Amino acid sequence: MCNIANMFHVIAYIDPGSGSIIIQATIAAVAGATIVIKLYWDRLLKFLGIRKSNKTNPLINTGEKTTIDDHQ
């Protein structure tokens, strides 16, 4: 009966190399998710209907916002 109780007692060990890889992967995942959110933030807001679509021409840099329809 004592042997059955001792079978469930597990001693887990993570060496420093494995621990640092886990920490590094966690930090990289958070950094990657932050960059993806930053890149697609406007699309997400437009998809949710929080921000309205604004069609501007990025090739014209006159200091004022003009729409593509104004140049046609």
Could you report the per-residue pLDDT of 12-44, keeping only the tens digit for each? Answer: 777 888 889 999 999 999 999 999 999 988 888
Is 6 within a domain?
no
**3: in domain:** no
* Domain membership of residue 51 as a residue range: 14-71
Does residue 57 register a pLDDT over 70?
Answer: no
46 pLDDT higher than 60: yes
Tokens representing 55 are: 């069609």
pTM here?
0.49
Return the amino acid letter for 26.
T
Number of domains observed in the structure of the chain: 1
Examine residue 61 and state whether it is found in any structural domain, yes or no. yes
**Predicted pLDDT at 66:** 58
DSSP letters spanning 2-70: HHHHHHT-------HHHHHHHHHHHHHHHHHHHHHHHHHHHHHHHHHTSS----B-TT--SSS--BGGG
